[in-house]
Structure 1
Amino acid sequence: MNTKLLLIFTLLITQFSFSQKKSRADRFFETGDYINAAIQYEEELNQKGYSKPILTNISTSYYNTFQFKQAYRYLAVLTTGRFYQKDKSYDNSFNFMMYQVLSSLGKYDKAVDFLALYEKNEKGTELNKSEAISIIETFKLKDDDYTIKEVSFNSVSSEFGAVKRDSIIYFTTDNSIGGFMNKNYKWTHRPFLDILQVNVDNNNTPVSDVQSISDEINSNLHEGNFCFTPDGNTIYFSKSNAEKGKKKFDSLGNNVIYLYKSLKVDGLWQTPEKLPFNEIGYSMEHPSLNEDGTMLYFASNIPGGYGDFDIYSSTINMDNTYGSPKNLGASINTIHREQFPFVANEGHLFFSSNGHLGLGMMDIFVSELKEGILTKPINLGAPINSGYDDFSISYYNDKDGFFASNRKNKSDDDIYSFTQIGEIFPKEYTANFEVREFASDSYIPNSDVILYDSNQQIVYEGRLDSVAAFSLAIFPGTYELKASSDGYETKAKPILVKEKEAQTYIIYLDKKKSISKDTAQDDKAITTSKEGNKVKDADISAEEIKQELMADTEGPKVIEKNGKLYFDVPPIYFDYDKWNIRADSKKVLDEFALKLEKYSTVYIKIDAHTDSRGTESYNQVLSEKRAESTRNYLALVGYVNARRMKFEGFGESKPLIECDSKACSEEEHQINRRSDFEIVKY
């Protein structure tokens, strides 16, 4: 995302001044060349050892170039307190940086510790860490409200800020085809930003070459995010402050971002003009208009705000004059960065922020317009948001649009198209809960149940009757269901309530061993032959059935481990953070379903495991979902009776490769993300 960083910060962050002569690394750092600065600071560390100025600048350089593992290494030293002075006001910023870096790496437990320390030092407030983690997990585990895919016109350059009008998509990029052979931007070592356009078909597939929007608009400086008036004849856009085609610097030597507009006359864009409320020395950027074009929204770091960058609005009057910028207030803005506003036709405000609780770096949020008031922002969650920067969302109809993210290339931005498929604002759904016996799948009468929300507050408590079930109108999210009954082991299970009506969530209890002994393996079995549908001898022993299963080489074999039988099914792989059955795993499960059909009285238990990234509670729920999706696939696609299949998630508790004490590769993490298929009855 660093191609757009000029549109996020002022040109350079506050620099340190040292009494000694500036080194080569310092000179790179002060000009915003963070790539070369990091390289040079590494050499200085070898020569001079750890010092606070060098550690500060090398951490910032890696942070600004999205090299988070390297940034973490040096931030870990800065946040130990080794360099703390009596005044912690500056050092506290490293706690926030560490929170973001660890979040981007998926280490939310540790990340929230640093966020809590930051808020305690900054505000004197105590963060509820368990609640914060629970909220983050909800962002990741809820049912997807969007489907996303990369657009086909992404390139090796950075692209973001896509806006569609009719059959043309406009976007911002550092692709050099904008029409100017200018110097590269030092921060990114790439060309300056331009606004391009491409004609597309109904599937957003290009039907023409990408070209510059206009030589009047694009220059040898930055032109960034933009929006059009409803009639399409005016464009508002972000642009480096310039006069007569040259950068204009303020008294501090900064070239800030201003808001400009250009009018289209006879099909041609005219010379851009600065908006009158731009303030000398401060940036105004990322314009967005409401549906009727009477209100302009934008981000700015002008004095009087809540933090780094805030979201503002300005009225556009009938005579084309503008009202004074109005800050949208503390419910939207934080002491950190809020940027890239977009106003939907209904008046809902979408924007990006690293100040509201999120998945890491900048996330996209939405504030619902209710009775003329913008409500508390909601994180859009996965898959729109990720551990990296997610920003510049826009809709071109009620459900389709674009956003940008650097989740794939880390340093380069890509545009993604999306379709909204779910409700993004809170809504209650009826959920059904049941308590059943694991062995028989029957209800357990007179069960006692308690349902807790993510804050461990009781949502429902009661004793069930002969039908051990209850229904409840409830908001989607993470809950915990605890059940007990005489003669059964008490169990508590995390429950992820989905954004669907009348979903059923079951908790299975096992009988206490002292009361009931599992004699399933001693039961006589009747199996049906696939060939003739003939019933085998009912007097065949369990041992004979076991030998038949283990001798059958067709499809997945049966193996014995630690006194238990398992189907030796090839790995059922899952993508990181996902629980949907991948295409390569569907082929494996299809073959396994045939084996289960052949032995129709075999009962199995599906055990799902995750890697160690993410929190323990998150991974526990994720493994439950993976086990459930595997069971559902076999039942719905493979036509295996669901009553023959139980499932359980073990989270990260039983890894094949230990990754807590070492940095595992992606392949090693993939090995830990697995499913086991135990035969529990035959």
Structure 2
Amino acid sequence: MKKFILLCFTIVSVFSFRCYSQQSKVNTADKKYDGYAYIDAIKTYERVARKGSKSEDMFKKLGNAYYFNSEFEGAAKWYGELFAMNPSPEPEFYYRYAQSLKATGQTAQANKILDEFNSKYQNDNRGRLYKENLNYLDKIKANSGRYKIEDARINSKYSDYSTFVANNKIYFASARDTGNFSNRKHKWTGEYFTNLYVTDVDSVKVKKFRTTLNTKFHESSPVLTKDGKTIYFTRNNYIDGKKGKNEDKITFIKIYKATLENGKWTNIRELPFSSNNYSTAHPALSTDEKTLYFASDMPGSIGQSDLFKVSINKKGEYGTPQNLGKSINTEGKETFPYVSNENEIYFASDGHPGLGGLDVFVGQIDTDGNISDIQNVGADVNSPKDDFAYIIDSGTREGYFSSNKDGGRGSDDIYKFLETRRLKCIQELYGLITDAQTGRILPEAKVSLYDRNLNLKNTTIADATGNYTFSVECAEKYYVRAEKPDYATKEVSIEIPDQTGKTNLPIALESIKCKVTIGDDLGKCFGIKMIYFDLDKSNIREEAALDLEKILDVLNQNPKMKLDIRSHTDSRASHKYNEALSDRRAKSTIEWLITNGVDKNRLTGKGHGETQLVNQCADGVKCTEEEHQANRRSEFIITAL
């Protein structure tokens, strides 16, 4: 039915032509072509062409007949004959010829045709997309190698495609045993009619969906609501035993809805925006089930088939369908939509730059419903043939897609996959807010995220465990600001990696109200780990004076406080030298405080050299510079209050 649906979306006008002695055969083929009996038309046209007759119109029809049946080698051959006769046919033939060439591995020639297409038809969205993505093959290559793919083990020698998973069951369309005493073929494609089938996940036993949903015509593309009580599906324009047609006696396809009552599917009805004059197909529900996405060639379409959406209210009523716009739809075919739990829309297209035929693409839906960042999912899934009907579980990253790529069992086959690497780089920035002095967890701290230009992007409150999280862009720079009463606000910058993952940024806040008692190190209230001196010197440096100003202020505010000032070195240099140096530094610190007004009776001090190391870095032990730095410290021990 996939080919049948593509044909429904591609009504080709018929052009008059003359083939002289072969005219009667051509007229016969025209009638079959007009009636969309493409398989029969191919045979007749080819017999005429092999006898030497040439006609632009005949080559167009031959090319189209193969193209619409996804037989791209034949399409490329006859479109080539068309271009040999007329280097400037209608724009649609440029694109179909290029797609057919790509599907048969003639990428360079395809790109040449696309260059001509874009130069002659600059208003066509497909040409613009090609021009904006001249390195599209490099992008596809970069997006490849991300899947483990295997046969879904439910395929037959016929057409199997379009899966949906619900309640640990797989629903799909198949042409394996339609009909009673003999299988019924559709004259448009030579394929058997498809019905709905079901199997358990990880099972190979397939059962026909034994319900009134299946008829003697086509059914496909099932999607169920989360409660399992409503199903949407695609079917020929056929209901209550009657087949609907337009004025030209053509039967299109429609989306139908049914409800489950007492274990039986009933109330089968076409959706109100369907029509006898155009097709609607391939329903897909948003995560909240308030929006239905689908494909159609209804009035207002940009191309041969576009993606639309329609709202569903609480009463189950439908709004007015909206075209998803030129960011996703082209003059070609966009079809088989699927919306993930992460608001990604997957779809098949032959209008966006791809490998040939239908390729699977993905775009991001924002909060306003706009779609951006459309990318080809890569050459693991996509091939020169038709690849479509992609669905994925956002949690497990497992899913299914359908394809008529080489190596399958039938004309279309279902493949199972595991996505091992995400296409889109997704990063989570997280961290723990703590007290810098005590390490105590600080819940309810306000945490703000700013971009590299200090524009506020998001704000959150640390949870009861002191943790915060933000969703951030990969390869971007951010500033994170943490605030909490009685603590100094702190802002930290962070560079986010360009790979999917999580980035940890813990933030320790300095209390502006430091509670101390006798025996505590006053320096820890201000994060003072060391009073810095020049190498081998004991004079106070400018940056050291700034820290001492803090100590001085506390002493002035607390006149009964007394301090014992202790200076320590690392183990490098001799023991005697280190002891003398540290003692000079302790005395220099005391002298600075006395000079700035502190009574000398409130201060004592001594240098301890390397006698009180805080780690294993004694003489002869190999240590890092950071480990040695931990031993070089100054302490302001409170001895009286």
TM range (shorter): 0.5 to 0.7
Structure 2: how far apart are the matches of 1:181 and 1:247? 21
The corresponding residue for 2:86 is 83
**Contact 2:10 / 2:304 at 8 angstroms: preserved in 1?**
no
**Contact 1:108 / 1:133 at 8 angstroms: preserved in 2?**
no
Taking structure 2 as the reference length, the TM-score comes to 0.62
The corresponding residue for 2:33 is 29
Residue 240 (structure 1) aligned to one of 227, 231, 236: 236
C-alpha displacement at 1:302, in angstroms? 0.8
Describe the superposition over 1:290-349 as per-residue Cα deviations: whole angstroms up to 9, x where unpaired: 112111110111111221111111111111111010111111111111111101112211
**Contact 1:223 / 1:237 at 8 angstroms: preserved in 2?**
yes
The corresponding residue for 2:613 is none
Q: Are residues 70 and 276 of structure 1, via their aligned partners in 2, closer, same or farther at CA, if it must alter by over 3 Å?
A: closer
Residue 402 (structure 2) aligned to one of 396, 401, 404: 404
C-alpha displacement at 1:127, in angstroms? 6.2
The corresponding residue for 2:49 is 45
Structure 2: how far apart are the matches of 1:288 and 1:500? 27
How many residues matched?
425
C-alpha displacement at 1:362, in angstroms? 0.9
The code of the aligned residue for 2:61 comes to N
Q: Are residues 78 and 197 of structure 1, via their aligned partners in 2, closer, same or farther at CA, if it must alter by over 3 Å?
A: same
The corresponding residue for 1:395 is 392
Task: Say yes or no: does 1:314 pair with 2:310.
Answer: yes
Q: Are residues 163 and 273 of structure 1, via their aligned partners in 2, closer, same or farther at CA, if it must alter by over 3 Å?
A: same
- 1:17-416 equivalences under 5 Å are 17-18=15-16, 23-47=27-51, 49-80=53-84, 82-83=85-86, 91-123=90-122, 132-177=133-178, 183-200=184-201, 204-206=202-204, 208=205, 210-372=206-368, 373-398=370-395, 399-408=397-406, 412-416=411-415
Q: Secondary structure at the match of 1:183?
A: coil
Structure 1: how far apart are the matches of 2:144 and 2:90? 39
C-alpha displacement at 1:51, in angstroms? 1.4
The corresponding residue for 1:421 is 420
Aligned-pair Cα RMSD in Å: 2.8
Q: Are residues 342 and 151 of structure 1, via their aligned partners in 2, closer, same or farther at CA, if it must alter by over 3 Å?
A: same
C-alpha displacement at 1:168, in angstroms? 1.5
Q: Are residues 31 and 129 of structure 1, via their aligned partners in 2, closer, same or farther at CA, if it must alter by over 3 Å?
A: closer
C-alpha displacement at 1:130, in angstroms? 8.5
C-alpha displacement at 1:376, in angstroms? 2.8
Structure 1: how far apart are the matches of 2:367 and 2:229? 31
The corresponding residue for 2:11 is 13
**Contact 2:160 / 2:172 at 8 angstroms: preserved in 1?**
yes
Describe the superposition over 1:533-574 as per-residue Cα deviations: whole angstroms up to 9, x where unpaired: xxxxxxxxxxxxxxxxxxxxxxxxxxxxxxxxxxxxxxxxxx
C-alpha displacement at 1:169, in angstroms? 1.0
Structure 2: how far apart are the matches of 1:409 and 1:222? 25
The corresponding residue for 2:431 is none
Q: Secondary structure at the match of 2:154?
A: coil
C-alpha displacement at 1:149, in angstroms? 0.9
**Contact 2:333 / 2:350 at 8 angstroms: preserved in 1?**
yes
Describe the superposition over 1:584-614 as per-residue Cα deviations: whole angstroms up to 9, x where unpaired: xxxxxxxxxxxxxxxxxxxxxxxxxxxxxxx
Q: Are residues 291 and 197 of structure 1, via their aligned partners in 2, closer, same or farther at CA, if it must alter by over 3 Å?
A: same
The code of the aligned residue for 1:160 comes to Y
Structure 2: how far apart are the matches of 1:367 and 1:12? 24
Q: Are residues 251 and 418 of structure 1, via their aligned partners in 2, closer, same or farther at CA, if it must alter by over 3 Å?
A: same
Describe the superposition over 1:265-310 as per-residue Cα deviations: whole angstroms up to 9, x where unpaired: 1111114111111133010110001112111110111111221111
Q: Secondary structure at the match of 1:375?
A: strand
Describe the superposition over 1:425-482 as per-residue Cα deviations: whole angstroms up to 9, x where unpaired: 1469xxxxxxxxxxxxxxxxxxxxxxxxxxxxxxxxxxxxxxxxxxxx979xxxxxxx
C-alpha displacement at 1:128, in angstroms? 9.4
C-alpha displacement at 1:142, in angstroms? 4.2
**Contact 2:303 / 2:333 at 8 angstroms: preserved in 1?**
yes
Structure 2: how far apart are the matches of 1:376 and 1:244? 43
Q: Secondary structure at the match of 2:101?
A: helix
| Percentage of matched positions with identical amino acids | 29
The code of the aligned residue for 1:92 comes to P
Taking structure 1 as the reference length, the TM-score comes to 0.58
Structure 2: how far apart are the matches of 1:77 and 1:262? 48
Whichever of the two has the greater Rg, that structure is: 2
**Contact 1:113 / 1:129 at 8 angstroms: preserved in 2?**
no
The code of the aligned residue for 1:192 comes to F
The corresponding residue for 2:616 is none
The code of the aligned residue for 2:379 comes to A
C-alpha displacement at 1:17, in angstroms? 4.6
Gaps of 5+ in 2: 18-22, 428-473, 477-496, 502-641
Structure 1: how far apart are the matches of 2:349 and 2:75? 21
Describe the superposition over 1:362-403 as per-residue Cα deviations: whole angstroms up to 9, x where unpaired: 111111234444223111112011111111011245211110
